[in-house]
Amino acid sequence: MTGLQADYVIVGAGSAGCAIAYRLAEAGRSVLVVEHGGTDAGPLIQMPGALSFPMNMKRYDWGYSTEPEPHLGGRVLATPRGKVLGGSSSINGMVYVRGHARDFDHWSDSGAAGWAFADVLPYFKRMETWHDGGHGGDPRWRGTDGPLHVTRGPRDNPLYHAFVQAGAQAGYEVTDDYNGEKQEGFGPMEQTVWQGRRWSAANAYLKPAVKTGRVQVVRGLVERLVFEGARATGVRLAGGKVVSARAEVVLSAGAINSPKILMQSGIGPAAHLAEHGIEVRADRAGVGQNLQDHLEFLVQMAASQPVTLFKHWSLMGKAMVGARWLFTGTGPGASNNFESAAFIRSRAGVEYPDIQYHFLPLAVRYDGQTVAEGHGFQAHVGPNRSASRGEITLRSPDPADAPRILFNYMSDPKDWEDFRLCIRLTREIFGQEAFAPFRRHEIQPGEAAQTDDELDAIIREHVESAYHPCGTCKMGAANDPRAVVDPDCRVIGVEGLRVADSSIFPRITNGNLNGPSIMTGEKAADHILGRRLAAANDEPWIHPGWQVAQR
């Protein structure tokens, strides 16, 4: 590959971009992947148990944060996004969730034709190599030879089993594979970890793609897209270098940076672009709008037995975990330690789960700060489908400036009702017999917080982002004024340009977004190549009594 020209230019070596590069190379196309971040080598990224480090390091993270959030008392929340090979799949919590079948049916119903569950399931299967770890599941629903290894932690800690038992004792379903036929229920959690290493999109897709000789990574900050007439022909990097595409440019810069680059290039809401003196190339009102995320609250319990991960939390303990991982690839360092999970419905009349749980046998925040109580455990809980919507807008026309990020968290009154319900349902689960040998007292929110007002005050102060931004370049019908891309991922109003990453999600999916983001890259690659996998006809399990029962 000579010169800075190839058949395709992909902006962003993240979850979707790496998958697209791999599939285009496999089909014989030449690809230049433009990435601002550097190498993902080094133990802090590759060791799963060290996950709290890379997402808090300037070297690997764009370092974005929100504007003061008006409904959270003006709190400014961190918005980590991967600035490294592998993108956010190199700094995330490695939790693997496909999403519920009905999420994708909703996409299709809202204008993203060809993205129903029947259409996307074959791509989830194509991308996976699934390892059940002896914990059950139905292999007919899973992939066997894809680039992405999906595994389950060893679940050695008794608290993982207590969580699932407590769910069953509270009357909920149990599922042995929430990524298979039946998402609803309590069961083992899955992770993108393989042989003790983080199995990021860089490890799964980009490195094999580069080895073909058809994919090259170009380091640089994209300032704007380059056009000839109405056609995108490449990107201009800081410093003036231009990277050119003979066929198409694909933006896979994520839910924050994809709309930012579009707006810097004159594609977006005309009035907003005019405010910044940017010439309008395509007036697309939806660019940067429809921003969604998952918020979660940590319900934390003090433990009555020293069975939690806190025993490794001293400097010496962490050194021992690190050394064991380095030399043997095993131990607590070889897992993200999210090894049990649940998806439940909040109330009767909700067709499929709208609350997610991550269970962790440690009481700790995402920034790595443990609570003063010592031994403890926690459930991360939150609603999956908030109606609140935010926006990404430009702070200035300078590409080096961070965008303005406003999620508008908790702006919908139902969010408050939902979060209070999440806390009360979690208290009921932790109050079950299965936790009796391990339960001391509630740390957060604390037993004193019982009324709606008391809970709201604690939610306002302590709710955290799960770091699942999406929706800012919504996919929809070509005649939808709010859609940014059509169902082939083509940007409406220009030629030779597609967007493929979590920004195109019409609505947020159930659970963590890395799996659906990679699937989006896999499927977008087929749209680019003019081919499709045949639709599936597998039907998901839906609770037979959902109209009248919550569990």
Question: Is 84 annotated for ligand binding?
Answer: yes
Q: Which residues contact 284 (CB under 8 A, 6 or more apart)?
A: 262, 267, 268, 269, 484, 491, 492, 493
Which single residue is written with the structure tokens 């680059």? 261
Which single residue is written with the structure tokens 């406003």? 406
- Domains annotated for the chain, with CATH where assigned, are 66-79+142-199+295-465 (3.30.560.10)
pLDDT value of residue 1: 40
- From the list 312, 358, 468, 527, the catalytic residue is 468
Q: Where are the beta strands (DSSP E) in 205-279?
A: 215-219, 222-228, 231-237, 242-251, 267-268
State how far the Cα of 291 lies from the Cα of 294, in Å rounded to an integer: 11
Q: Which residues contact 98 (CB under 8 A, 6 or more apart)?
A: 124, 179, 511, 515, 516, 519
List per-residue pLDDT tens for the chain, 551 residues long: 445 999 999 999 999 999 999 999 999 999 999 999 999 998 999 999 998 899 889 999 999 999 999 999 999 999 999 999 999 999 999 999 999 999 999 999 999 999 999 999 999 999 999 998 777 888 999 999 999 999 999 999 999 999 999 999 999 999 999 999 999 999 999 999 999 999 999 999 999 999 999 999 999 999 999 999 999 999 999 999 999 999 999 999 999 999 999 999 999 999 999 999 999 999 999 999 999 999 999 999 999 999 999 999 888 999 999 999 999 999 999 999 999 999 999 999 999 999 999 999 999 876 767 776 889 999 999 999 999 999 999 999 999 999 999 999 999 999 999 999 999 999 999 999 999 999 999 999 999 999 999 999 999 999 999 999 999 999 999 999 999 999 999 999 999 999 999 999 999 999 999 999 999 999 999 999 999 999 999 999 999 999 999 99
Give the three-class secondary structure for 160: helix
Paired sense of beta strands 31-35 and 5-11, if any: parallel
State how far the Cα of 435 lies from the Cα of 163, in Å rounded to an integer: 7
The half-sphere exposure of 178 on its side-chain side, counting CA atoms within 13 A, is 34
Question: Is 95 annotated for ligand binding?
Answer: yes
- Among 491, 547, 529, smallest CA distance to 258 is for 491
- Among 207, 213, 211, 226, smallest CA distance to 29 is for 213
Question: Is 11 annotated for ligand binding?
Answer: no
| First-to-last C-alpha distance (Å) of the chain | 58
- Asked if 444 and 302 count as a contact pair (C-beta separation under 8 A), the reply is no
- Residue 468 annotated in active site: yes
- Among 24, 519, 23, smallest CA distance to 6 is for 24
